[in-house]
Amino acid sequence: MYNEITPEQVEARLNNKEKFHLIDVRELDEWEEGHIAEAAHLPLSEIQERLDELPKDENIIFVCRSGGRSGKVCGFLAPQGYSVTNMTGGMLAWPGAIVTGA
């Protein structure tokens, strides 16, 4: 089981300068079309090979287009001891600013 958070709550946490990792699991073309400035890019297709880049002892919020893929990542990582949260609604529901490009 994993936690969920709304896009508005993520935006508020960013505005409050709270410490957490925000990881966008969409593919590169989606990322380049627009992403949250504070997010790191780690495509879903690369998660298993890049597990060593994810801190187990710190909160990670995952985001995708609509919340489905990020939910799958959370479902995969939570049983392995990661502190993960899924941003429901994904970028489709993101109320804040986005940046484009890599």
Which amino acid does the sequence have at 102?
A
Residue 8, pLDDT score: 98
CA 22 to CA 63: how far, in whole Å?
A: 7
What per-residue confidence (pLDDT) applies to 55? 94
Q: What is the DSSP letter of 11?
A: H
Q: What is the largest CA-CA distance in the chain?
A: 33
Q: Find the catalytic residue in 25, 64, 87, 91.
A: 64
How do the pLDDT tens digits run along the chain, 102 residues long? 899 999 999 999 999 999 999 999 999 999 999 999 999 999 999 999 999 999 999 999 999 999 999 999 999 999 999 999 999 999 999 999 999 987
Boundaries of every domain in the chain = 3-93
Q: CATH assignment of 3-93, given 3.40.50.10540, 2.60.40.420, 3.40.250.10, 1.10.287.3510?
A: 3.40.250.10
Whether 74 is catalytic is: no
Output the pLDDT for position 101.
86
Q: What is the signed CA dihedral for 76, 82, 87, 89, rounded to 10 degrees?
A: 10
Looking at residue 13, its pLDDT comes to 97
